[in-house]
Chain A
Amino acid sequence: MLTGAPLDTDVAIETPEHIVFRHRLAGPSRRFLAFLLDLVICYTAFSILAFVVLLVAIGAAAATNAAEGAIGAGVGVLLVVLFGLQWVYFAVLEAWKGRTPGKAALGLRVVTTTGRPIGFRAAALRNVLRAADALPLAYTAGLLSLAGLVSMSTTRRFQRLGDLVAGTIVVIPERASVAAPLILFPPAQPFELAQLPDDVRLDADERLAIEMFLRRRARLGRARELELAHMIATPLAERFGFRAQDPSRTLALLYDRAANAGRVDAPPSSRTPGSWR
Chain B
Amino acid sequence: MTGTHKLYVATRKGLFTVVRDRGWRIAGLDFRGDNCSAVLEHPGTGALYAGLDHGHFGAKLHRSTDGGANWQEIEAPRYPPKADDEEDWVDMHGRVIPHSLLRIWCLEADHPDRPGGIWCGTIPGGLFHSDDGGDRWARIEGLWNHPLRRRWFGGGADYPGIHSVCLDPNDATCVRIAVSCGGVWESRDAGVTWDCLGEGWRAEFMPPEQAADPAVQDVHRLVQSAASADVLWAQHHNGIFRSTDGGRHWTELGDVSPSAFGFAVAVHPADPDTAWFLPAEKDQRRMAVNGRLVVNRTRDGGRGFETLSHGLPAEHAYDLVYRHGLDVDATGESLAFGSTTGSLFVSEDAGDHWQCLSAHLPPIHAVRFAPAAP
A binds B: no
Residues of chain B having any CB pair with chain A under 8 Å: none
Residues of chain A having any CB pair with chain B under 8 Å: none
